[in-house]
Amino acid sequence: MSEDKIKIKGENGGLILGFPDGMPFSEIMEELGRKLESGAGFFLRGTLVRVPRDRFAKEELAKMQEFFRTHGLICRLAKPEPAESPAPVSEKSPSVPAQSEEADTPELQRMLVIDKTLRGGQAVETEGSVIVFGNVNPGAQITAGGSVDIRGTCRGVVHAGAAGDSTAFIIADHLMPTQIRIANYVARPPDEPEDSGKAERAYVKDGQIVIEPIER
C-alpha cells in the first residue's frame, strides 16, 4: 500500500490525518498498524492526532482511539470549521468559561510542529518533541526534550532527549547532520554517507548512537 495514502498535516500542538474517500476502515487500520508497529516513528509518542469529523462511525472512532492509545497517542476529532458569522450572544445567558477538550488528558504531550525549512542561524528549543515539515539546513539547530522527526533532509545540529532521555530518537528522510546528540551521546555522520533511498532513524543502542534505514 502506498505510504502517501495517509495524508499528514501539521497544526499547532499536533497532527491532522486525512484519508482517501472510499478507503475502507479496515484498510485504514491496517495501514496505521503497519506504520505504528514498524517502530519507524510514524508518530512520536504523546502526539495529539486529529481525524476528520463525520468520517467514521461511532464504533469505528472508538476502535481507532483505543488503537492510538495503546501506542501512547491521543486521538481526537478535527476541530469544526469556524462559522462564517458568529452567533449573537445573549446578555442573559450565563458566562461559562471555555474548557479545552484536552484539559482532562494529563498524558498529552504538546508537540512543536514546524511547517517550514529551518535555515542556517535558526535555533529551536522545546521541552517536548518536534516534527519538521521541511529541511534542517546547515547552521540550524534543534534541541528537544523528546524525539525529533524531520520530514525532509537534516544537515544541521539536532539534540533529542536533551533532558537526559536516552529512549528518544531522531528520524529524517535524509539524515546527513553536522552533529546529532541523544541525551548525553554524541555522533557525527560518516565522511561519505551511503544513500539507502529510505528514511533513517538514529537511536541509542548498547551505549552508542546507531543509524538504520526505516520505512516511513
Q: Are 146 and 158 in contact (CB under 8 A)?
A: no
Distance between CA 9 and CA 28 in Å, rounded? 17
Low-confidence ranges of the chain (pLDDT < 70): 1-4, 12-13, 38-43, 81-110, 190-196
pTM exceeds cut of 0.75: no
pLDDT at 188: 78
pLDDT at 110: 64
> End-to-end distance of the chain based on CA atoms, in angstroms?
12
Query: What is the CATH number assigned to the segment(s) 3-77?
Result: 3.30.750
Q: Topology of 112-214 in CATH?
A: Pectate Lyase C-like (2.160.20)
Cell triple for 85:
458569522
Cell triple for 174:
535524509
How confident is the model over 124-140, as pLDDT tens digits? 999 888 999 999 999 99
Domain ranges for the chain: 3-77, 112-214
Which amino acid type is present at position 56?
A: F
pLDDT at 34: 82
Helix residue ranges per DSSP H, the chain: 25-37, 58-70
Read off the DSSP letter of residue 90.
P
